[in-house]
């Protein structure tokens, strides 16, 4: 979503600006917006203590012309609660990007840990075929945790009363025209042809094609609500 939106006129979307570590050197650029300094990398201006330093950082960020945003993880709200205070005061719009397929999300995370990267740019060579394992003894708990985090985020957004729009990762993949709703929400001119993402998937395939212990995972999930994520019900493309 970030990659596509950054190619639209008068739209700038940054990466995880409130991640608590500095960007690692030597990594390929994912675009100028990803090169914007994170909060932890900046020298505070004005009153150099939180929350004032956070407010100053966000003021500078939002001074840019057009629609401006950044990627904010659920955990960042807990570590930097003043962000929500800023959002409430300035009536910041929220686009809530969700991933319906929670098993797909865990597979993507396992691949990322093994390859030590999460993205590939157009033109870059894809890694050799890879298969991963998910621990069956903790899988149900991890799925439940992700489900609860999603529900909690929805409650917080609803409680805030801020203008918001929820979009699904799977819908944006399957139908690029879903980005039209994002343009309308952000009040930016729609485009006739939605640009393609500059990021490409490292892996595509069903869970059985990626998971070494798929049969074990299938037996665990088949009688649970998470059975909808198995081969029998849905195709999976991992990031």
As a whole number, mean pLDDT of residues 60-69 equals 93
Residue-averaged pLDDT of the chain? 86
Residue 173: band (very low, low, confident or very high) from pLDDT cuts 50, 70, 90 = confident
For residue 140, what are the CA distances in angstroms to 108, 109, 110, 204, 230? 16, 16, 15, 23, 14
Across 74-88, 114-128, 169-183, least confident range: 114-128
As a whole number, mean pLDDT of residues 119-138 equals 80
Compute the 3-state secondary structure of the chain and give helix, strand, coil in percent, each to the nearest 5.
45, 10, 45
Inform me whether the pLDDT recorded for 221 exceeds 50.
yes
């Amino acid at each position: 979503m970030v990659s596509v939106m950054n190619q639209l006129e008068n739209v700038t979307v940054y990466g995880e600006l409130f991640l608590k570590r500095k960007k690692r050197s030597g990594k390929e650029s994912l675009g100028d917006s990803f090169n914007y300094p994170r909060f932890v990398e900046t020298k505070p201006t004005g009153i150099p203590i939180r929350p004032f330093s956070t407010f100053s950082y966000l003021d500078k960020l939002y001074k840019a012309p057009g629609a401006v945003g950044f990627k904010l993880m659920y955990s960042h709200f807990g570590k930097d609660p003043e962000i929500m205070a800023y959002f409430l005061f300035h009536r910041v719009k929220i686009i809530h990007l969700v991933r319906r397929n929670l098993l797909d999300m865990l597979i993507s995370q396992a691949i990322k840990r093994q390859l030590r990267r999460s993205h590939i740019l157009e033109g870059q060579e894809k890694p050799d075929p890879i298969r991963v394992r998910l621990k069956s003894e903790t899988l149900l708990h991890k799925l439940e945790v992700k489900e609860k985090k999603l529900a909690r985020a929805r409650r917080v957004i609803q409680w805030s009363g801020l203008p918001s729009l929820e979009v699904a990762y799977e819908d944006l993949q399957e139908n690029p025209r879903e980005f039209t709703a994002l343009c309308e929400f952000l009040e930016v001119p729609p485009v006739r042809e939605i640009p393609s993402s500059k990021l490409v998937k490292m892996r595509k395939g069903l869970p059985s094609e990626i998971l070494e212990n798929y049969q074990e995972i299938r037996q665990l999930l088949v009688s649970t609500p998470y059975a909808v994520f198995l081969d029998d019900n849905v195709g999976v493309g991992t990031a």
